[in-house]
Chains A and B, each alone.
Chain A
Amino acid sequence: MSGAQAGLAFSVFLASAVEVVEAFTIVLAVGSSRHWSSALAGVGAALAVLAAIVGVAGPALVDVPIGLLRLCVGGLLLIFGLQWLRKAILRAAGAKALHDELAIFAEEREAAALAPAASGFDSYGFAISFKAVLLEGLEVAFIVVTFGANRGEVPLAAGAAALAVALVVLAGLAARAPLARVPENAMKFAVGVLLTTFGVFWSAEGAGASWPGGEAALAPLLLLILAASTAMVWDLRQRRAKGTPVSA
């Protein structure tokens, strides 16, 4: 496995793990407070939709000319990655609430308890589980398809995502509780840096630029984006400590 392949697999694994932790919390809250069968049916239906998206979009994108693919898909990945990184920087600087699985679990349980009870099939439990898995899973599917198609490595990307899903679900089943000890916010920061790095690299190539050293440029690019992001966190913390309003 080359360095770029390892980077791809690691990025997809990390992003998928974060999303699965979030979906797991909601399904656990709904399933434990309502009906497990309906909640799991919602999970199954969402996974079927996601598998169809990856199954159709992945192979179709592989047939697109690589330059056009890198420009369009790399650009989309860059926009997507910048949104992750923006939120992660704001969270790290204290400008945005940290993601708290225990709080989300409590909120979901409370909402589930207030919803009308169901005697047979629980449409509430199904709908909440379906929505949670589909929405979180769409991010995973997007990353799997974009990473996989850009490198012609859809099976590797899908395998990394599947491994993340399996590990998180196994850990969740063993704990039988929200996975609050997973360092989600730090993982999201790392994912934001990785998605932005690959997005810059591929979209620039798609636009016609040639990186000095080819794929070896990924490492310094990653370090640059990491250093700049860390500096932005530090800058925001300083401003917030001084109470200095920012002017964008």
Chain B
Amino acid sequence: MIGRAALAACSFVAGEDWHVAVAVTASLALTALAAATGLPAWALPPVLVLAILYRSVRAGNRPAFSRAPLDDAPPHAGGS
């Protein structure tokens, strides 16, 4: 029961592309590391986040060339 709830919660936030969640976590760890070493850490998140978004968008576009455009996903979160 708790496992299913945890899985549903993860699915709710991570949505269709779990790589985004992993990459965001890694980018925040990198930002924390940069901040701890005194570097201007604020410059990292925007660049990393846009790179994550670009990769995710390109991955999401790939199926369009192999099958029909994706229909709306079932109503779950992780973005409508």
Residues of A within 8 A of B (CB): 18-19, 22, 71, 75-76, 78-90, 93-97, 99, 104, 132, 135-136, 138-139, 142, 188, 192, 196, 200, 203-204, 206-212, 217, 221, 224-225, 228-229, 232, 236, 239-240, 243, 245-248
The 3 closest A-B pairs by CB, nearest first: A208-B35, A83-B79, A84-B79
Among A75, A87, A96, A132, contact of B28 (Cβ-Cβ < 8 Å): A75
Q: Which residues of A contact B62 (CB under 8 A)?
A: 245-246, 248
Task: Kindly report which residue of chain A lies nearest to residue B66, judged by CB atoms.
Answer: A245
In addition to A78-B49, A209-B42, 7 A-B residue pairs with Cβ atoms within 8 Å of each other are A86-B20, A86-B53, A86-B60, A94-B69, A207-B41, A209-B35, A239-B61
Min CB gap A128→B, angstroms: 11
Within 8 A of A (CB), among B35-80: 35-36, 40-42, 44-46, 49-50, 52-62, 64-65, 69-72, 75-80
Among A78, A80, A99, contact of B77 (Cβ-Cβ < 8 Å): A80
Asked whether, in the complex, the Cβ of B31 is within 8 Å of the Cβ of A209, the reply is yes
* Chain A interface, DSSP helix/strand/loop, else mixed: helix
Q: Which residues of A contact B45 (CB under 8 A)?
A: 200, 203-204, 207, 209
Asked whether, in the complex, the Cβ of B79 is within 8 Å of the Cβ of A86, the reply is yes
Answer whether A208 and B80 are a contact pair too, CB < 8 Å, given A225-B50, A240-B64: no
Asked whether, in the complex, the Cβ of B42 is within 8 Å of the Cβ of A86, the reply is no
Min CB gap B41→A, angstroms: 4
